[in-house]
Amino acid sequence: MPKVNYRNQAREYLKRAKAELETGEDHRLRYAALDLRFAIEALTYDRAQAYKNELLPSEYETWQPRKLLALLLEIDPMADKGGSLAVGVEETEGEPAPEMVPFGSETVFDLRLLKKHYDAIGNFLHVPTLAQAEKAPPPPEKFRQRCGEVADYVGKVLASPVWNITFGSFATMECEKCGAKIRRRMPHGQKTASAACFECEATYTITDRGNGKVEWKMDMVDVRCGNQDCDKVIHILKKELKPGSHWVCEVCHGKNVIALSIRHEPSEQAASAS
Ligand SMILES: [Zn+2]
Ligand SMILES: [Zn+2]
């Protein structure tokens, strides 16, 4: 599949949005907002193209920007952060080069900002509800200001010289519980990372064993049957260890309910005073 030039599309949408804003007419603000939303969507899809090999075709082809970005974050916790690159010549091996030439920094929409901008301009794209109309609808100046902020940000992202750099090594495996594919980028300089299955929410601890080898371990806990006369131990997923969940012991057939409890121990002073 050829790469779609979403960046060019975003540029076009931004140009149109700016032209709409420049008319100074309040009733044209909604068209500016629509173009800005399209620009945000195009940038998100462009970002997804950089991670194409890590996405399933179904996710890649059909997901909405917000879901897509959430998935990108799942794969790479750094996906919502801008990165910057610098290179330099090492004079002493292993030591940082005395002079580093920056390539520039990459500004990408971070998830929080994406949601904020996308939702905020989206709110203006509906006729005010009865409740909103009674309270006083949002003034057009506010809408204009918001559109201006979003346009500036989109412009910054588009002007960024370094685009769609992706670093780090991927760890991929099939969920032991449900078989879904789990992907996780190993964070830089970290030996362990945690990952969660998108489907069944089982959690894993990934350990870097060197030479590109990673070890996956499902987060399990051992829990002993609550019956004093029974010592059956079961292994459950860490995420299942929460108040309200229960299991029936296969040895004594009693029911164990997980609950939060506090055991109070009086201070030594209080104990010696009595
Ligand atoms: Zn799973
Ligand atoms: Zn038991």
Most confident stretch, 13-22, 35-44, 125-134, 161-170 = 13-22
pLDDT in the model for residue 254? 95
Provide the pLDDT for residue 247. Answer: 92
Distance 146 CA to ligand 1 centre (A): 41
Q: Is residue 70 pLDDT above 80, yes or no?
A: no
d(CA 256, CA 224): 9
Which ligand neighbours the alpha carbon of 180 most closely? 1
Which ligand ends up closest to the CA of 200? Answer: 1
Distance 250 CA to ligand 2 centre (A): 7
The ligand whose atoms approach the alpha carbon of 199 most closely is 1
From first CA to last CA, the distance across the chain in angstroms is: 80
Tell how far the Cα of 198 is from the centroid of ligand 1, in angstroms: 7
Ligand closest to 196 (CA) is: 1
| Over residues 15-33, mean pLDDT | 94
Compare 251 and 159 and report the one with higher pLDDT.
Answer: 251
Burial (Cβ within 10 Å: 0-12, 13-18, ≥19) of residue 96: exposed
Asked if residue 202 lies in contact with residue 123, where contact means CB atoms within 8 angstroms, the answer is no
Identity (one letter) of the amino acid at 32?
Answer: A
Q: Give, for 231, the enclosing helix (H) or strand (E).
A: none
Q: What is the pTM of this model?
A: 0.54
Cα 180 to ligand 1 centroid, rounded to whole Å: 5
Calculate how far, in angstroms, residue 265's C-alpha sits from the geometric centre of ligand 2.
28
Q: 236 by DSSP, 3-state: which?
A: strand
CB distance 110 to 81 below 8 Å? yes
User: Residue 204 class from Cβ within 10 Å (0-12 exposed, 13-18 middle, 19+ buried)?
Assistant: buried
More confident residue, 95 or 31: 31
Instruction: Please name the residue that has the structure tokens 């969940």.
Output: 245
- 218 CA to centre of ligand 2 in angstroms: 24
Q: Report helix, strand or coil for 28.
A: helix
Taking the C-alpha atoms of residue 157 and residue 151, their distance in angstroms, rounded to an integer, is 10
CATH number among 1.20.140, 1.20.120, 1.20.950, 1.10.287, domain 6-84+102-159: 1.20.120
The 10s digit of each residue's pLDDT in 169-184 is 567 788 888 988 887 7
CB 146 within 8 A of CB 85: no
Ligand 2 center–CA 58 separation, angstroms: 45
The predicted-structure confidence for 118-131, as pLDDT tens digits, reads as follows 778 887 787 777 77
Spatial contact of 196 and 203, defined as CB atoms under 8 Å apart: yes
The bound ligand whose nearest atom lies closest to the alpha carbon of 204 is 1
Which segments within the chain are labelled E, that is strand? 84-87, 101-105, 170-174, 181-185, 192-196, 203-210, 213-218, 220-224, 233-237, 246-248, 255-257
Q: Looking at the CA of 255, which ligand is closest?
A: 2
